[in-house]
Structure 1
Amino acid sequence: MLGGVVPGTSLKDRYRLARSPLAHKGMSEVWPAHDALLDRPVIVKFVAVTELDLVRRFRREALLTARLDHPGVPAVYDLGEHAGHPYLVLQQINGIALSDLVAEHGPLPIGWVAAIGAQISSVLLAAQRLGLVHRDIKPSNAMLEPSGAVKVLDFGLAVTPDDDRYSRITQSGQALGTFGYMAPEQILGQRIDHRADLYGLGATLFDLLTGTAPFDGLTTMTTVRQQMGATPPRPATLRPETPSVLDDLVHALLASAPDSRPDSAADVYRVLAPLAENLPPIPGVLDDSVTAVQAYAAIVGRIPPQPGPTIAPAAAPSALDLGQAVRQAEQMQAAGEFRAAARQWRRLAEHRARQHGDEDPQVFDLRLRAARTHVALGEHPRALRLLTALLQDRERVDGPEHPAVRELREEISRLSTEPASAPALPQQFVPDADR
């Protein structure tokens, strides 16, 4: 136990700790408690930092986390300090951890994997818009309530990417994260952003689909080596009935390089939401009757999305005529929706390559359009990587003197020397929306 934190302790003459903590996780200790003022159960999370600068950082992050107003995140009720240890008072959640759910029921039905993943994606999207990174997305940090709603836990230790000191290894030398689920850049102590949480979501989806962790070496060192050096695993190798679109998504989320993962949690949601259908009952876990939460959510789900950027599910390329899909991407680009257009070009290129092979001329054209769209976004380094990879493939297929190859080489040369411009924005650009 943390020094000065004992059973029965009363915090602020209001929150009385129970007889024993629920869990001790690295730097934190979680206690059930009773709020005497409002007569309700709560959770109190203490953090083992006493250094003044770190305590201030913790308070700053806690205040920011309290702004994460989302039904998939436990509410933050209060913030304080006891015996030198800062603590958060949080909403108590009743449900089952996803790790326990898999241990008891084995791999989950595809529909439930998608439903759970889509809910977590919506939480991560809300966090991304606030600039928060969770850093420890894994099955034991999410709970399924009897209503079928998912709660993402441990946002009390989230950070903002510009906080270099608190977001890395702490004073005890412990990594804030879990090997096997923690993104490679986080393991290396590098700067992280929302894509680190997408990696954790990919590992969680793999676990829910297969009943096993994606990287599970005999030792921590072998697990880390697998994460750093091995090709990201595909759940379909262990569960062949996994839909190809879901298999591809998990594979992409587990990419070791952040740039190779989806751009946003909204992209993940678009894939998962259409798969969350025909959800079977889970005996002993879900309520048999319609709950108040389900009744409320059913009506909210009928409200049409407002104009502007949304996270509505997009049709998969396989369901679209290529010409129609190309026109859609061109319309997105003409409207200034460059991020969505870039995703569409990449999606079409991947789909066309699966059907006709990587050397198909239309695959080259779609990849080129994707790269040029990233130029329009002002993302010159990413565009250069895409163009360079395309050049290597075209040289191999058409030879170094082919006119298209020479033109591509000149385009790369020009882009390498000109400064990155600010991304072109539509007239009705929404600053805090996912782009």
Structure 2
Amino acid sequence: MAPGANIKERYALGRFPLAHKGMGEVWPAQDTLLERPVIVKFINAAMMDMELVRRFRREALLTARLDHPGVPAIYDIGEHSGRPYVVLQKINGIALSDLVAEQGPLPIGWVAAIGAQISSVLIAARRLGLVHRDIKPSNVMLDTSGAVKVLDFGLAVTPDDERFSRITQTGQSLGTVGYMAPEQVLGERPDHRTDLYGLGATLFDLLTGRPPFDAVTTMTTLRHQLDTPPPRPGELRPEIPEALDDLVHALLALHPGDRPASAADVYTVLAPLSQDLPPIPGVLDDTAEAVQAYAAIVGRVPHQARAKPPITAVQAEPDLEQAIRQAEQLQAAGEIRAAVREWRRLAEAHARQHGDDDPLVFDLLRRAARAHVDLGEPGWALRQLNMLLQSRIRADGPEHAAVLDLRQEIARLRQERATSPPPQRRPPSADR
């Protein structure tokens, strides 16, 4: 593209492109009709083919469908001199990768606030069945008000998207080394928990100033991801709250079933930690405005109040009943880790058919959380039960019988923990 070119007799390009890498060539521009700055993104002319054109258009359409303040708005799409383009909202801010490079590890409150905002975007994406597959610091921007924007849906897929296997066969990148989930490395089918891994790796980077897995070569990095337990940011930064340390560790679990069940569960942990938001000189206009922007975005976490039958009245299908009995037998035989994984697998399978708020999903996840008490991990059990409590309150309201019963169980477990000798902190484990 020539500097100053006029696209559609409306968008006047700037003097220099902002970026020229990958499949996109990005230019600042002025929308002369609405008198506002915009971004115009073209396909890289040297790489253009029919498959790339389809990917480019698809990214624009997916991004447009994801109507959320944490995603740049799509204003227009078209073709100029044979090259497809998309017109995007201009973000006045900085990529998180550049922010960490300039500032070092970020204040804990800001890490939690940024993570909560990304979680809200992932909640919206899951409603549409979208998996981003490339959540990383360079794909997230913090604007001058403190609001987060998640960029680049070029690798996004839906669960029934056959393109996933085709992309794998053509050898195109499925993510970014050090941030993509193990199932992406292994070429397995992704789901919403794939993005939770990328979020965990991003939070680790923001907290410590380095990615969780970073070796000299790509192969060594990938081997560490697949063969070693996920690291804890608290080992590099001791002042990190235990709840945040445990969350990042869980998000980086090797197996998807060992990660938090949903982005909404991640949000419930991060939001309370987002209270202390100190100024970031040279980045944010005003901290008060940043708090308002943050609250407006993360407030989009869905709140539902639908009547549900009591948990005790829920009946499982015959095949599921047999699987539940097998999980109970595993736990009775002392194979508690295996039982936990089975409870979570059953909960995920049932949620796909009946929704995350189905009472039986709640019951299965509650069993998985309780099992951590038998493993000598009451703190982990409490955190899981508290996340379940917040989910049930959103779904059924604070006075539902299941909510009141769970409150009592949490209070009882806290009392037992308070009167027991403090356990030693367990070493990092990939089995959770």
Q: TM-score, normalised by structure 2?
A: 0.68
Corresponding residue number in structure 2 for 1:340 = 362
Corresponding residue number in structure 2 for 1:284 = 282
For residues 155-234 of structure 1, the aligned pairs below 5 Å read 155=153, 157-165=155-163, 169=167, 173-234=171-232
Query: Partners in 2 of 1:165 and 1:303 — Cα distance?
Result: 30
For the pair 1:267 / 2:265, whether they are aligned, the reply is yes
Query: Partners in 2 of 1:8 and 1:170 — Cα distance?
Result: 39
* C-alpha deviation, 1:171, in angstroms: 9.7
Corresponding residue number in structure 2 for 1:47 = 43
Contact 2:145 2:286 (C-alpha < 8 Å) held by counterparts: no
Give the structure with the higher percent helix. 2
For the pair 1:353 / 2:375, whether they are aligned, the reply is yes
Contact 1:180 1:223 (C-alpha < 8 Å) held by counterparts: yes
Equivalent position amino acid for 1:66 in 2: A
Corresponding residue number in structure 1 for 2:316 = none
What secondary structure is seen at the aligned counterpart in 1 of 2:38? Answer: strand
Compared with structure 1, are the counterparts of its residues 182 and 86 closer, same or farther at alpha carbon in structure 2 (3 Å cutoff)? farther
Contact 1:21 1:29 (C-alpha < 8 Å) held by counterparts: yes
Query: Partners in 2 of 1:112 and 1:12 — Cα distance?
Result: 41
User: What does the per-residue CA deviation read over 1:15-43, in whole Å, with 9 as the maximum and x for residues that have no partner?
Assistant: 23222221234222222122222221111
User: What does the per-residue CA deviation read over 1:96-146, in whole Å, with 9 as the maximum and x for residues that have no partner?
Assistant: 211122122221122111111011000011011111121211111111122
Moved more, 134-143 or 199-208: 134-143
Contact 1:127 1:133 (C-alpha < 8 Å) held by counterparts: yes
* C-alpha deviation, 1:285, in angstroms: 2.0
Query: Partners in 2 of 1:27 and 1:228 — Cα distance?
Result: 29
Compared with structure 1, are the counterparts of its residues 68 and 301 closer, same or farther at alpha carbon in structure 2 (3 Å cutoff)? closer
For residues 18-417 of structure 1, the aligned pairs below 5 Å read 18-48=14-44, 50-52=48-50, 55-56=53-54, 58-155=56-153, 157-165=155-163, 169=167, 173-288=171-286, 290-291=288-289, 294=292, 297=295, 305-308=303-306, 336-350=358-372, 353-355=375-377
Query: Partners in 1 of 2:40 and 2:75 — Cα distance?
Result: 10
* C-alpha deviation, 1:168, in angstroms: 6.0
Query: Partners in 2 of 1:29 and 1:228 — Cα distance?
Result: 34
Equivalent position amino acid for 1:342 in 2: L
What secondary structure is seen at the aligned counterpart in 2 of 1:212? Answer: coil
* C-alpha deviation, 1:248, in angstroms: 1.7
Compared with structure 1, are the counterparts of its residues 37 and 298 closer, same or farther at alpha carbon in structure 2 (3 Å cutoff)? closer
What secondary structure is seen at the aligned counterpart in 2 of 1:46? Answer: strand
Contact 1:169 1:189 (C-alpha < 8 Å) held by counterparts: no
* C-alpha deviation, 1:195, in angstroms: 1.6
Query: Partners in 2 of 1:209 and 1:138 — Cα distance?
Result: 14
* C-alpha deviation, 1:164, in angstroms: 3.1
Equivalent position amino acid for 2:225 in 1: Q
What is the number of equivalent residue pairs in this alignment?
334
Equivalent position amino acid for 2:231 in 1: P
Moved more, 87-96 or 47-56: 47-56
User: What does the per-residue CA deviation read over 1:282-304, in whole Å, with 9 as the maximum and x for residues that have no partner?
Assistant: 22222236439827956995999
Alpha-carbon RMSD: 3.5
* C-alpha deviation, 1:253, in angstroms: 1.2
Contact 1:54 1:166 (C-alpha < 8 Å) held by counterparts: no
Q: TM-score, normalised by structure 1?
A: 0.68
User: What does the per-residue CA deviation read over 1:37-85, in whole Å, with 9 as the maximum and x for residues that have no partner?
Assistant: 2221111222346443553454344323212111111101111233444
Equivalent position amino acid for 2:219 in 1: M
For CA contacts below 8 A with separation 6 or more, give which structure has more relative contact order: 2
Contact 1:107 1:209 (C-alpha < 8 Å) held by counterparts: yes
Query: Partners in 1 of 2:84 and 2:191 — Cα distance?
Result: 25
Query: Partners in 2 of 1:219 and 1:109 — Cα distance?
Result: 30
Contact 1:164 1:191 (C-alpha < 8 Å) held by counterparts: no
